[in-house]
Structure 1
C-alpha cells in the first residue's frame, strides 16, 4: 500500500498478457499487476484473447478481461501491423468499456503504442487520468531513423499517446532523455520507474544447472545470449567476436537462446566466420530451462545496440551469471564496470571480446561481480518496490488530472489539436556521449 494507505483501482491495457507473452512487455505487465494486487490495490488488465483462455477470469488476484478478435481478421505480421492494431483497438475498447461498467476506476494505465487508441477513448469516455508507460520508441529501435511510412506512423501514435497522458512512465534515465528528444514530453510529466525482477523465479536447482552445462558446454567456457533475434539486439557483434575468443579459449561454446526474424542473417554470419561448430541455437527456452542455462554460463553477453532498460541483465544477474553488457541505454545504468559486471561500447566486436575475456580469464573476478550483481538486483529491483513507485505515479496523476485536462482543453481551443511533422534524418543526433 502507498504511503497514504490509499487503495488504487487500476484499469490496465496491454496487447500481451499471459498466456500471450511475445517479449518483455508481457512479463512486465503480469509482474506489475500481481505485485499491485499483493500490495492491496485493485487491478483489471484488458488484453487480447488467446485461443483456449477464458474471456474473463481472476488469476493471482488480477481481473483479466480478454478481447476476442473481430472479423475480418488481419494477420499479425509486419506488413499488416497497422491494420491489425486498429482492428485490435476496436475490440479492446469494447471489452474495456464492458469491464468498466462493473466498477469504478481511479486511473487508466496504457502500455505502449499498440493500445493508444483504446487508452485515449477510455480517458475521454470515462473522464479518468491516463498514465502511459513508453517501454521503447520506434525511432530508438531504428537507431534514430524512421525509414518507412509505417515507422513514421508508429512514431506519431507514440507522440500522441505521450501528449494525451497526464503522466508518462519510462524505465531508465536514458529513456527519459529519448522521449524528451523524440516525443517532446516535458520532463515535469515524466517519471522514471525501472522494471523489476522476481529473483526467486530465476534461481535454478543445481541439478538443472549441471544438466544445462552438460547439454550446451564443451570442455571449455560457455557463453550465453538470451533474447529476440533482431538487429538492434546486436547478436551479430557477438558472432563477430567469437573467432577472437575461440583463439584465446580452447573448447569455447556459445548458446543463443531465443528466436526472431534475424536468425537467417545470423546463420550467414556464422557461416562466414566458420564458427558453426562453436555456436548453437537453442530456440526459446521454458521458464525452468532459461534460468538454468544462464546459471551455467561463464558469461552472459548482452550486446544490444538499442536497449531502453535491459531486463535480461537483471534476469541473468538473478540467476548468478557473470554479465558482459553493451554500454548503452538502460544497460549502462544497471551494470557498474568492474563491480557488477563488465561493459563494452555497442557495435564493437573487438571491445566485446576484450570484456568477455576479462571474465573468462579470471574466474574469481567473474564470480565476485556475479555475486555483487545478484545482491544489487535484490536490493533495487524487487517488484513490490516497483509497484509502490508506480502507485505514487498513479496518485500524482489523479491529483493533477483536472489541471492537466483544463490546460489541454484550453490549448486545443486556442491552437487546435497538434499536428505532428516527422522530419527526415536521424532524430537522435547528436548522440549522447556515454
Structure 2
C-alpha cells in the first residue's frame, strides 16, 4: 500500500514517545514492502534559511522534513497559531512536492497534524486513519478549564470523528477516547507500541563506570527516565525517597530527562529534604541511558497519567527490575508480580513499599525482569504491530467527508466524574 503518514515529530526531531513510535512503524511498514512517505517538520525555532525543507529516503522511508514558515511563532507561547502554521507548511509541501504519487491511506498521529491530514484525505479521497496517542483531558484528569485546553480537545474530537478508523496504543486509551470523543469503542483498533530489544544491550565498561559514578559505596540506585511533566508523577518518587532511605540507607534517585516540571521537582526534593540524594541528569545520549539502566537497582515509573508507557518496554529490553504505577497503558504493559511490581497512581506509601520489595529480594526482581524481556518478542514486536496496522489500513472504509459542528464541552469534568485526588495537578495554562 501507499501510505502517507503525518507526524509533528520524527527523528531526529523527537519530543517524546510519539516520534519513536512513528519512526518504528514507518520503517517496519517499508521493510514489509509498503510505500511509505512521512510528512514531518524541521526543529522549532528554525527557518528555511537555516533548515530548508529536505526530501530524502531514510531506512526505506521517504521523509519530507518541512521548513518553518517565516512568521515569528513559538510553540510554547503561540501553540495553536504555531500548530496551524506547521499544518499549512505540511499541506503546501505535500501538494507541491509529492507529484505523480497518490496515497492509498492517510495516517495522522495526534491532533497537531489534524488540519493537514484531514485536508489531504479529502483531496485524495482516501481513508483517514488517526492514532490517538494521548488526550488533553487525560493529561489534566478530565478538566479543560483553560481556553487553550478546550481548543486542543475540540481539535482532537474533530480528528477522531472525521477519521474513518481510529487507533489507540492501549485498551485504556481506547476507552478514554471513546468516552471523550463520543465514539463506539468497538470501532477503535488497539495496537500496542513495540520495541527493538537489540538497541538496549549495554557495554559492560560503561555500566561499571556508571556504578562507580553514582554509587561508589554500593548504594541502592533508583532511576526514572522520560519527560519531566507533572503527569509523569516524578514528584511521588521523590516524596517516597525518605521512606525508602529509612529502610535502605544511602538510596539515591536518578532523574533522567527534561520538561516543564524540572524546576518544580527540584523544589520537591528540597521540601522532602532529599535534594542531595536526587541527581537530575537532564537528557542522556542513548548509550549512557542504556548503561544506566543496566547499572541501577530499580527503574521507577510513577505516572499519574500514561496512555501506553513505552519506557516500560525499554526497561524490559534492558533487563532492569521495574516498579510502575497502574496508570493507563502501564497497567497493561506491566503484569504485577510477573514482569514488575505495580502500585496505584499517586500512592506514595505503596510506591515506597514496592521499591523496598525489589531492594529486599533482588533475585525475585531479576526473575521478573527476565520474564518481562521474554514477553517483548511475543506481544511487542514491531513487525507484528506493523502488519496489524496494514490490516487496519486495508479494512478502513472510505466515508464521504462530512462537516462537523463544534463539540459541546462540559464546564465540569469531561469524564463525568470527579477527578481522583492523585491525578489533580496545578493549572498550567491561563
Give TM-score scaled by structure 1 length.
0.92
User: Which residue of structure 1 aligns with residue 33 of structure 2?
Assistant: 40
Q: Is the 8 A contact 1:295 1:316 kept in 2?
A: no
Cα 1:102/1:209, change in 2 over 3 Å: farther
**What corresponds to 2:140 in structure 1?**
142
**Equivalent position of 2:165 in the other structure:** 167
* Structure 1 residue 206: Cα displacement: 1.8
Matched residue count? 413
Structure 1 position 31 matched with structure 2 position 24: yes
What is aligned with 2:331? 332
Of 419, 423, 426 in structure 1, the residue corresponding to residue 406 of structure 2 is 419
Match of 1:430 among 386, 411, 417: 417
Query: 1:115-164 CA deviation, whole Å, 9 max, x = no partner?
Result: 00001110111111100000000000111111200000100000000011
**2:67 alignment partner in structure 1:** 68
Find the counterpart in structure 1 of residue 155 from structure 2: 157
Deviation for aligned residue 1:209:
1.7
| 2:39 counterpart SS class | strand
What CA RMSD, in Å, does the superposition of the two structures yield over aligned residues? Answer: 1.5
Aligned to 1:214, what secondary structure does the other structure show? helix
| Distance in 2 between residues matched to 1:362 and 1:324, nearest whole Å | 13
Shift of 1:432: 11
How do 1:10-409 residues align onto structure 2 when only pairs under 5 Å count? 10-50=3-43, 51-52=50-51, 55-77=54-76, 79-218=77-216, 219-397=218-396, 400-401=397-398, 404-405=399-400, 409=402
- What SS does the aligned partner of 1:91 have? helix
Q: Distance in 2 between matches of 1:223 and 1:32?
A: 31
TM-aligned CA deviation for residue 44 of structure 1: 0.3
Q: State the shift of 1:54 in Å.
A: 5.8
TM-score scaled by length of structure 2: 0.93
How far apart, in 2, do the equivalents of 1:420 and 1:429 lie? 15
Q: Does the Cα contact within 8 Å between 2:51 and 2:67 map onto a contact in 1?
A: no
3-state SS of the aligned residue for 2:63?
strand
CA contact (8 A) 2:53 2:66 kept: no
Report how far residue 52 of structure 1 moved: 4.8
1:293 to 1:388, Cα distance in 2 relative to 1, 3 A? same
User: Aligned pair in 2 of structure 1 residues 187, 99: CA closer, same or farther (>3 Å)?
Assistant: farther
- Tell me the CA shift for residue 99 of structure 1: 3.9
- The alpha carbon displacement at 1:216 in A equals 2.2
User: What does the per-residue CA deviation read over 1:27-84, in whole Å, with 9 as the maximum and x for residues that have no partner?
Assistant: 111111111111111110011124557611011111001211112120121x310110
- Tell me if the contact between 2:102 and 2:124 (Cα under 8 Å) persists in the aligned partners: no
For 1:14 and 1:45, locate their aligned partners in 2 and report how far apart those are by CA, in whole Å. 7
Secondary structure of the corresponding residue to residue 73 of structure 1: coil
Deviations 1:193-244 (A, max 9, x none): 0011111111212222222222222422110000111100000000000000
Q: CA separation in 1, counterparts of 2:250 and 2:306?
A: 31
Contact 1:32–1:383 (CA<8 Å) still a contact in 2?
Answer: yes
Structure 2 unaligned segments of length 5 or more: list them: 44-49, 421-430
Whole-Å separation in 1 of the counterparts to 2:74 and 2:39: 21
Q: Is the 2:154–2:406 Cα contact (8 Å) retained in structure 1?
A: no
